[in-house]
Amino acid sequence: MAALLQERGWAVVNIDATLIAQAPKVGPYRPEMEANLSAALGTDADRVNVKATTEEHLGFTGDGSGMAAHAVALLERLP
C-alpha cells in the first residue's frame, strides 16, 4: 500500500481506527496492530492510532457475531 500511495503522489499524515467488538479485548494487541498498519502504509507508528469500543451487547457486534471498524486517514500530497 505504501508504494501505491507514493506512486500516486501521496503520503500518510495520520490514521485513526476504531474497532467495535464485544470480544476479544484488543488492548494487548494494540501495539502490534499499530506497528503492522504503519509498516503497510509506510509511516511511523506514532502516526497510527487504534482504539476499541463495544456497543454494550447491542447488534451483531454486541452479541459476538462479528466486528466492525471505522478508520480515517489524513493524506498529504507529496511535493
**Predicted pLDDT of residue 61:** 86
Across the chain, mean pLDDT equals 91
How crowded is the C-beta side of 32, counted as CA atoms within 13 Å? Answer: 4
Percent of the chain residues topping a pLDDT of 90: 62
Confidence grade of residue 51 (pLDDT, cut at 50, 70, 90) = very high
Handedness of CA 55, 56, 57, 59 (dihedral sign): negative
pLDDT at 24: 86
State residue 62's pLDDT score. Answer: 86
**Candidate CATH numbers 1.10.10.60, 3.30.450.40, 1.10.600.10, 3.30.1330.50; the one for domain 2-77:** 3.30.1330.50
**Contact between 62 and 2 (Cβ < 8 Å):** no
Stretch among 27-31, 45-49, 57-61 having the lowest mean pLDDT? 57-61
Domains of the chain, by residue range, sit at: 2-77
How much is the pTM? 0.80
In contact, 18 and 70? CB cutoff 8 Å: yes
Could you tell me the three cell numbers for 58? 447491542
